[in-house]
Structure 1
Amino acid sequence: MRLLRSTDLALRVLMRLAVADGTTPTTRDVAAAMEVPYTHTAKVVAELQHLGLLEARRGRGGGLALTEKGRTASVGGIVRTFEGDGDVVDCEGPTPCPLNSACRLRGALRRAQEAFFATLDPITVTDIAAAPTGPLLLGISKLP
């Protein structure tokens, strides 16, 4: 299974904020540290803020901070939110699959997708930012 770029970026932003050590990096800081476009990061940050997983403050002394809800959020829940509930394959597209009425593959893929999410459900943002990941995140996030 391949995650959308926005899902990957959302998890990386949350991980980085989980180890922020009292600092409040800006969206621009996080984008630069992760070497991703600012515009993509800004969209993901807006969605994470809408979900209540982080706070974004503007102006002098502003920046991003993880909320308590963000620290304890389920990675599976975050991935589900960003990936959506769609099927793994598009059987209904512009040219519907001729096997659609009797296909067993779609159900098997749906169960596999749910097993993937279920594996991630008990894991929190704090868990994925713990050592050895946290110190490494801090090391690569230092801006000149």
Structure 2
Amino acid sequence: MRLLRSTDLALRVLMRLAVPGGSAPAPSPTPTTREVAADMKVPYTHTAKVVAELQHMGLVDARRGRGGGLALTEKGRTASVGQVVRAFEGDGDVVDCEGTVACPLAGGCRLRGALRRAQEAFFATLDPLTVTDVVATPTGALLLGLSGAPGAAGPDRGAGDRPDPVLD
């Protein structure tokens, strides 16, 4: 299964906001949308659309003006990765059997149901993971290192840091 770019960006924005700092040269606990876009190396316009949707979902608090910026809400910290992916991907089928030219097998095809079950299994695997879970070591340090923030850990891992097998 391939995720939409907006889904991928939404997850990266949530992960970026789940760790303090970033946005060189002076780390900010509430980075702007522009700073997050720069950290993630994606266009500002795409990031702004995703942030607006995350704000609508209650996962991100966005404030304008001096002292403003983006902050992850408590709901955002505990949000299920599976639910975020479902929200951005939509609940449509993996294949469009009813498209502009309907599939001639639609009346008796068993593949559509199998693909739907596979899609649900994919979501179910992500359901128990929260945003906080996916930024645990070593990911949090890597996120901080993206912008080159002072004192941020780089991509090197210490001997005790092992990837979480559930997340890899």
SS in 2 for 1:87: coil
Please name the residue that 2:128 is paired with. 122
In proportion to residue count, which structure has more helix? 1
Please name the residue that 1:38 is paired with. 44
Q: CA deviation at 1:20?
A: 1.9
| Identity score, percent | 81
- What RMSD over aligned residues (CA atoms) do the two structures have, in Å? 1.3
What letter matches 2:16 in structure 1? R
What letter matches 2:72 in structure 1? L
SS in 1 for 2:107: helix
Q: Which 4+ stretches in 1 moved above 6 angstroms?
A: none
Q: CA deviation at 1:141?
A: 2.6
Q: Counterparts of 1:1-144 in structure 2 under 5 Å?
A: 1-21=1-21, 23-142=29-148
Contact 1:10 1:44 in 2 (8 A): yes
Higher RCO (Cα < 8 Å, 6 or more apart): 1
Q: Report the count of equivalent residues.
A: 144
Q: Any unmatched runs of 5+ in structure 1? A: none
Normalising by structure 2, report the TM-score: 0.83
Normalising by structure 1, report the TM-score: 0.97
Q: Any unmatched runs of 5+ in structure 2? A: 22-27, 151-168
Write the distance in 2 (CA, Å) between the matches of 1:141 and 1:63. 17
Q: CA deviation at 1:28?
A: 0.1
Contact 1:55 1:64 in 2 (8 A): yes
